A and B are shown apart, each in its own frame.
Chain A
Amino acid sequence: MTLEAQLVLARPDFSLDVHIRAGAGEVVVVLGPNGAGKSTLLRALAGLVPLDRGRITLNGVALHERAPQARDIGVVFQDYRLFPHLSARENVAFPLRSKGRSRAAARAEAAAWLEEVGLQGLEDRKPSALSGGQAQRVALARALCGDPRLLLLDEPLAALDVGTRGDVRSALQRQLESFEGPTLLVTHDPLDALSLADRILVLEDGRVVQDAPPAQVVSRPATPYVARIAGLNLVRGTAVDGVINGQLVSAERLSGPVHAVIRPSAILLHGSRPEGSSARNVLACSIVGMEALGDRVRVSLTGPPQLVADVTAAAVAELRLREGQQVWASIKATEVEAYPV
């Protein structure tokens, strides 16, 4: 069961042009900032918005030629869209009834699914009497019980408060593990992406900017957006024998177009030019922003390159750091982790 899709949509103010592959049992998380086109991508796969060009095949079957109701997919919408006039059980039984299952069989199967997602005893509740987490589970059970060949989830955890989110996330993780078809999950939350994904597809402005396993996305970010999520500094440029943009020395002696990441804690700040430092990189810059992060302080520095450095509160006091101040940043070449692109 493999999904292969080429989706092209052109709107006056927005365009989407992506290629997606997802294998059987694989969870592909589409991660991107708001407005990147994540939901549109999902709606196109579901057949709720027409493609301008492209094709969607699931195990060789051309889905794009089918109406939404004939695509055999399960969708969990961000707002769940549980039918307000139907009980939890009837909501879950809905796709079974659509498939022509008898009322009794559909109800029995729906009850089993509700138990599966831990909602036994709530079968007769209307959606308005369910909590956010419960409604999400009903939506998931409803999407799964029709035995879909492809599962699509649009920000399935976004509507939940922080307290219930963790529980629902681990429950969702279990369900996704036992689902045999490909799963596409859209989110703007890095934590959801990192904990649920087999592969992350980073979408920005309607284009895929990175398609890699989670570990690689966080260690080798392709864009500043991804680097920010991973909590890293990203420098993009051209290297000549390990010197990036004629400015930053890295340990690997690469040449050609490169990305380099630098951990914020690997950047040391000094009040005056450091003498006798072994660091190969010493940059003069000024502070443009400061933000407390737990026991550290994140200091934003002017570029080029634009960097953030994490320093201790003691260092802030000792160096009397404040916005607008001139400082020196030193970075060891071994901390500038460059990779070719």
Chain B
Amino acid sequence: MRQSRPWALLAPAALGLVFLLAPLAGLLARTPWSRLPELLSDPALLQALRLSLTSATLATLLSLLIGVPLAWVLARVPFPGRRLVRALVTLPLVLPPVVGGVGLLYAFGQSGLFGPALHGLGVSLSFSTAGVVLAEAFVAMPFLVVTVEGALSSTDQRYEEAAATLGAGGWTTFRRVTLPLVAPSVAAGAVLSFARALGEFGATITFAGNLPGTTQTMPIAVYVALESNPEAAVALALVLLGVSVLVLLALRDRWVRP
């Protein structure tokens, strides 16, 4: 006799799946396949694509540069209030991106907290490509920090001890032992950050604006094109979808498989 199962769950489950896949179907259904090559070779689209890829890459690099050390400190250096700091670091994950953008504006904008100091150095971040990178890194870096910190916390320090007995100082141990051991997680965190940076919309448009060629990234271009040229919007969206699928493939070993 087979165990009876709650078959009533099947209908909402199917509904859930349809709901998640419907936008994808909608997108593919409205794609002007025959005009696609022409649409995709539009210089404005290529410009936005280039800007998106460049700024997402730079945001990922920035996240690696300051996020990995931050993850190491959170995982390995006990200090009072560490739990609070850990919570604050993950704040951008739950914060509405627009709020992040407003915050960035009042921190690094011309009239912001650090604006005058930055202006004195001849640096203007808001409404510039550097601002795009900053906004993207702000929302994307927590993914990297959380991933790397988790990996560091779960790898024990046996190998670091061994390295010390073999004459390696702190920096050598970090570079030659600690970092290689968590390399898969650093890579996964970087891919996640890149994906998040590529899709960033709210913080970017709030802090960096919508200047074609300078701050108009793909997601912003999609949104703008929807008003004037829906076919172009669909083509742009399709490109972003393609990149997302690539990201999913890159991460398949970690998250997609059970």
Contacts and interface: CB of A to CB of B under 8 A. Distances in A.
Partners in one complex: yes
Interface of A: 46-48, 67-75, 77, 79, 81, 83-86, 94-95, 97-99, 142-143, 146
B154 interface: no
B211 interface: no
Given A48-B164, A69-B165, A98 B158 contact: no
B158 A146 contact: no
A77 B158 contact: yes
Interface string B212-239: 0000000000000000000000000000
Contact of B158 (A70, A79, A86, A99): A79
A69 B161 contact: no
Contacts of B166: 69, 75, 94-95, 98, 142-143, 146
B171 to A, nearest CB: 11
Given A77-B158, A84-B181, A94 B163 contact: yes
B73 interface: no
Nearest to B170: A69
Chain A CB within 10 Å, residue with most, of B161, B164, B165: B165
23 contacts: A47-B164, A67-B164, A68-B161, A69-B165, A69-B169, A70-B167, A71-B165, A73-B165, A77-B158, A79-B158, A81-B158, A83-B181, A85-B183, A86-B180, A94-B166, A94-B176, A95-B168, A97-B176, A98-B166, A98-B168, A142-B166, A143-B166, A146-B167
Contact of A85 (B162, B163, B181): B181
Chain A CB within 10 Å, residue with most, of B166, B167, B169, B172: B166
Contact of A95 (B159, B167, B169): B167
Contacts of A143: 165-166
Contacts of B162: 75, 77, 81, 83
B164 A68 contact: yes
Contacts of A73: 165
Interface in B133-191: 158-159, 161-169, 172, 176-177, 180-181, 183
Nearest to B172: A98
Contacts of B169: 69, 98
Contacts of B181: 83-85
Q: Is the interface of B mostly helix, strand, loop or mixed?
A: helix
A46 B166 CA distance: 10
A124 to B, nearest CB: 17
A304 to B, nearest CB: 47
Contacts of A70: 167
Nearest to A67: B164
B159 A69 contact: no
B158 A69 contact: no
Nearest to A92: B166
Nearest to A43: B161
A293 B173 CA distance: 51
Given A77-B158, A81-B158, A69 B180 contact: no
A220 B189 CA distance: 62
Contacts of A71: 165
Nearest to B177: A83
Nearest to A98: B167
A262 B183 CA distance: 61
A98 B162 CA distance: 12
Contacts of B177: 83
A263 to B, nearest CB: 43
A46 B167 contact: no
B161 A81 contact: yes
A77 B166 CA distance: 12
A79 B159 CA distance: 10
A97 B166 CA distance: 10
Contacts of A142: 166
A75 B162 CA distance: 8
Contacts of B159: 81, 83-84
B170 to A, nearest CB: 8
B218 to A, nearest CB: 36
Q: Please list the 9 inter-chain residue pairs (A to B) with the smallest Cβ-Cβ separation, ordered nearest first.
A: A98-B167, A81-B162, A68-B164, A95-B166, A75-B165, A98-B168, A85-B180, A69-B164, A95-B167
Nearest to A145: B166
B167 A99 contact: yes
Given A48-B161, A69-B164, A143-B166, 14 more contacts: A48-B164, A68-B165, A69-B163, A69-B165, A69-B169, A77-B158, A81-B159, A81-B162, A83-B159, A94-B166, A95-B166, A97-B176, A98-B168, A143-B165
Given A79-B158, A83-B177, A85-B180, A74 B165 contact: yes
Contacts of A97: 176
A200 B51 CA distance: 71
Nearest to B160: A81
A70 B177 CA distance: 18
Chain A CB within 10 Å, residue with most, of B164, B177, B181, B183: B164
